[in-house]
Amino acid sequence: MVSKGYFFAVIGRVFAWTFLLGLAVIVIYPLLWMLLNGFKTNSELFANPFALPQQFSWQNYVNAWNRGVSNYVTTSVLVTVTSTIATVFISAWAAYGLSRVKIPFSKFWTGFILGGLMLAPTVALVPLVKLMQALGLYNTFWALLILYTAFRIPFTTFLIRAYMIDLPFEIDEAAEMDGASRWKTFWHIILPMCTPILVSTVLLHVLFAWNEYIFAMVFTNGTGVEPLPVGLTSLMSKHGTDYPVVFAGMAIAAIPVLVLFFASQRYFVKGLSEGVGK
């Protein structure tokens, strides 16, 4: 009886391990393939897609960089940084107003801001193009900055508000009795207390802005303002069959977020697990 149970336990372990390792290979191998292909020559790639590159030359990366990727990276960095700052500040203000100030019709305003969570970006696409054209912002960096901020305010406010609500109200009252203004209370006391959730929201926004595609594709139209995801697809269409250069470009797009993720995993997990209940 005991040996039978033992037997099944061993079978179970072997099975579980095969499953976990097999899945890890399915995840890692395509990514490794992508990185290695960035070092191959085109003929190597077509001769045998599984072979290792003959020599590790950075030429494809240099070519990708010179064929537009440097512009895409610049735009992506700029849009990511500015929209992160704008989104997190505007959302933190809104979260403070919603959670710690007695405002009139607070339920309505909460619904107004958080209700934006339910709206898919595609739904407003046609009117937004008309609007941006009318404002003269179509095909500029500003269109992306505004849209990345507007469509992420609900989610970011949701996360920060949920955290602020749990801070004791005695903090605000004590600060007030010590003569602090509302602004000072927010800036010097409440905001620093929210650092963990702020880090999570910054990371999630960076991930979003760096990877966003639909707005980037619709609102930028060549002429050097496309961010990386759109740039990659035009790299692909412009350079026909020089695939190793495309692989190098993909690696350039993927590596920064991977580094960021591994450097700050626990904040990611926190933000993601809080955010799923949006």
Partner 1 sequence: MTLTHSAPPRRHPSGAPARRSGRPSPALFSRRLSPRGLLWLAPAVLILLSFVYWPLVQNFAFSMTEWDVYTGTQEFVGLENFSRLATDPVFQRSLLNNLLYAGLSLIFQVAGALLLAVVIESRRSERLRRALRAIYFVPSAISLTVAGLLFYFIYEPKLGMLNHLLEAVNLGALAQPWLGQESTAMLGIIMMSQWQGFGYSTLLFAVAIQRIPRELYEAAEIDGIGPVRQFFTITVPLVREMSGLMVIVTISGAFQVFNEVMVMTSGGPNNSTQVLGTWLYHNGFSRNDFGYAAAIATVIFVVTISIGLVQMWYTKRRRVQW
Find the binding residues for partner 1 in span 17-36 (CB under 8 A): 19-20, 23-24, 26-28, 30-31, 33-34
Question: What are the C-alpha distances in Å from 141 to residues 32, 151, 250?
Answer: 33, 16, 22
Q: Are 201 and 163 in contact (CB under 8 A)?
A: no
Find the binding residues for partner 1 in span 83-102 (CB under 8 A). Answer: 90-91, 93-94, 96-98, 100-102
Contacts of partner 1 in 163-202 (CB under 8 A) = 163, 166-170, 172-174, 176-177, 182, 193, 196-197
- CB neighbours of residue 254 within 10 Å: 16
Furthest CA-CA distance within the chain = 79
**Cα separations (Å) of 21 from 9, 15, 25?**
18, 10, 6
Count of residues near partner 1 by CB under 8 A = 104
**How far is it, in rounded angstroms, from Cα 237 to Cα 64?**
13
Token pair of 259 as six digits:
């580094």
Q: What residue type is assigned to position 190 of the chain? A: I
x-marked contacts with partner 1 along 219-258 as a string, rule CB under 8 A:
---------xxx-xx--x------x--xx--x--xx--xx
Tell whether residue 265 is a contact of partner 1 (CB under 8 A). Answer: yes
**123 lies in the binding site for partner 1 (CB under 8 A):** yes
Residue 41-60 contact track with partner 1, rule CB under 8 A, x = bound: ----xx--xx----------
CA distance 40 to 244: 6
Site for partner 1 in 58-77 (CB under 8 A): none
Task: Tell which one of 77, 78, 85, 131 touches partner 1 (CB under 8 A).
Answer: 131
Calpha distance 185→96 (Å, rounded): 10
Q: Please, which residue, 53 or 229, has the CB nearer to partner 1?
A: 229
State the nearest-atom distance from the C-beta of 231 to partner 1, in Å.
9
